[in-house]
Structure 1
Amino acid sequence: MYAFYLDKIQLPVTPAKMNMKIANQNKTINLINDGEVNILKAPGLTEISFDAMIPQVLYPFAVYTDGFKEAAYYLDKLETLKVDKKPFQFLVSRVSPAGKLLFDTNMSVSLEEYTIDEDVENGLDLIVSLKLKQYRTYGTKKVVVKQTQNKKTAKVATTRASTKTPAKTHKVTNNETLWSICKKVLGDGSKYKEIAKLNNIKNPDSIQPGQVIRFA
């Protein structure tokens, strides 16, 4: 079973296929005496594309974690993700028929573009083609220059990680995922597998509102 999440919202119909372009930024140059060589550089950003069906009517095969939502709900969410200028979490959860969690895709992304296709063959339903790009956090150092008696000194200020002790438990609320809870409480969403194991949760996507999650 596959489940696609865009910023905590599960797509009602799982896309039939997904394409991930995992690129590198290596550069090939020619040296006078040694010929062609490959300069290895840091990897590029992963690009993701897929087509998603947004149903306008209630289907038995569709999944609505918070009840049926019309297409306008999902279109409004996509537009918000497009113009908000903020990265969001993209998650693909893969679970075997036996309920075992398989490998997953979990990364911060930006919504680069999307296309809405309306076709008479699809009835009232919409097909939305999405293109996402991996987002990597980055930061700058702040240099404070002080001048005393014609002498300038520079001090580099850096941001330190928070030393706040995380809560020992968390009560699940509506629209929360185990990843988002770990991000909020621990500061690292990728620890959701570890927390799922600690709480004997076989399927991280099955948490329910009111459920208490332990972190120690």
Structure 2
Amino acid sequence: MAYKIYLGINDGEEGFTLPVLPEKIEFNEDGDNKTYDIINLGEINIINKPKLMEISFESFFPKHKGPYVSSEKLFSPSFYINKIREWREKQKKIRFIFVGSPLEVNDLFTIENFKPYEEGGEVGDIHYSIELKRYKNYAAKKVVIATQKTVLANQSQVKKKSVIASSKPTRPNTKSYPKTHTVSGNDTLWHIAKRYLGNGARWKEIYNLNKDKIKNPNLIYTGQVLRLP
């Protein structure tokens, strides 16, 4: 399987494949353990969950297509630069997909640093360095201090809701999906699985159904008609 790096937003519905793969990708997975000195015991350490993963790499956006370009489509360097700047300005979470390596990644990240620059003698090409940090979803939770009065009131509400729920017949799920999908634009098997199956990680099911026409799961082409599970 060939290496491939994809950056996008909205669960991968908008984005692009890096046209030139970086020579090196660094994965920083620092720990967050703490050490303390205890009287009559000495130094001890407390094991905590590791810090959020950080990924960094350098590459360039070429003006012209050459043998070093690994993506099917090549846009102008300004397209890639403006997209990344737009996502940062709108405070978007980034879907980072790295396949073809034992270090495969498919998760949400934030763009911590992005530095585009030009080098002499390479007019039109834009070099860049980028740093990403894994994004962890979180939400504030409301804490309610229980008293005897609130406990009795909640129990009463639960009984009422259960009676109402049992009196309503459940509706059958009539939602149907097409049995095929015609590849277009920047489609990948992950995007198609996310759209129709609700989970991009189920892309292998689509691949297994279409092995007669897909030789490499990373390479699908506009116009292909794929069967869906």
Whether 1:209 aligns to 2:227 is: no
| Pairs aligned (count) | 197
- Residue in 2 aligned with 1:114? 114
Amino acid at match of 1:115: K
Q: Aligned in 2, Cα 1:64/1:36: closer, same or farther, shift over 3 Å?
A: same
- On the 8 A contact 1:169/1:212 being kept in 2, the answer is no
What 5-or-longer segments of structure 1 have no aligned partner? 96-101, 146-150, 156-162
Shift in Å, 1:204: 2.1
Question: What is the distance in 2 between the residues matched to 1:206 and 1:4?
Answer: 13
Whether 1:16 aligns to 2:38 is: no
Whether 1:77 aligns to 2:77 is: no
- On the 8 A contact 1:82/1:113 being kept in 2, the answer is no
Whether 1:199 aligns to 2:206 is: no
Coordinate RMSD, CA, aligned: 3.0
Question: What is the distance in 1 between the residues matched to 2:37 and 2:174?
Answer: 52
TM-score by length of 2: 0.72
Amino acid at match of 2:45: N
Question: What is the distance in 2 between the residues matched to 1:164 and 1:89?
Answer: 31
Amino acid at match of 1:203: N
- On the 8 A contact 2:20/2:71 being kept in 1, the answer is no
- On the 8 A contact 2:61/2:126 being kept in 1, the answer is yes
Residue 193 of structure 1 aligns to a residue whose secondary structure is helix
Residue 83 of structure 2 aligns to a residue whose secondary structure is helix
Amino acid at match of 1:110: T
CA deviation vs aligned residue, 1:68-99 (integer Å, no higher than 9, x gap): 4211111111112222212121112227xxxx
Point out the structure with the larger helix share: 2
Question: What is the distance in 1 between the residues matched to 2:176 and 2:91?
Answer: 29
Question: What is the distance in 1 between the residues matched to 2:227 and 2:41?
Answer: 59
The sequence identity of aligned pairs, in percent, is: 34
Q: Aligned in 2, Cα 1:124/1:180: closer, same or farther, shift over 3 Å?
A: same
Among 57, 62, 74, which residue is 2:64 paired with? 57
Whether 1:185 aligns to 2:192 is: no
Point out the structure with the larger strand share: 1
What 5-or-longer segments of structure 2 have no aligned partner? 9-14, 158-172
Question: What is the distance in 2 between the residues matched to 1:46 and 1:137?
Answer: 14
CA deviation vs aligned residue, 1:76-128 (integer Å, no higher than 9, x gap): 11112222212121112227xxxxxx662222111111111211043331111
Amino acid at match of 1:85: Q
Shift in Å, 1:25: 1.7
Q: Aligned in 2, Cα 1:119/1:204: closer, same or farther, shift over 3 Å?
A: same
Q: Aligned in 2, Cα 1:124/1:210: closer, same or farther, shift over 3 Å?
A: closer
TM-score by length of 1: 0.76
CA deviation vs aligned residue, 1:153-184 (integer Å, no higher than 9, x gap): 679xxxxxxx9978464513311222222223
- Residue in 2 aligned with 1:126? 126
Whether 1:91 aligns to 2:102 is: no
Residue 206 of structure 1 aligns to a residue whose secondary structure is coil
Shift in Å, 1:10: 0.8
Question: What is the distance in 2 between the residues matched to 1:71 and 1:78?
Answer: 11
Residue 81 of structure 2 aligns to a residue whose secondary structure is helix
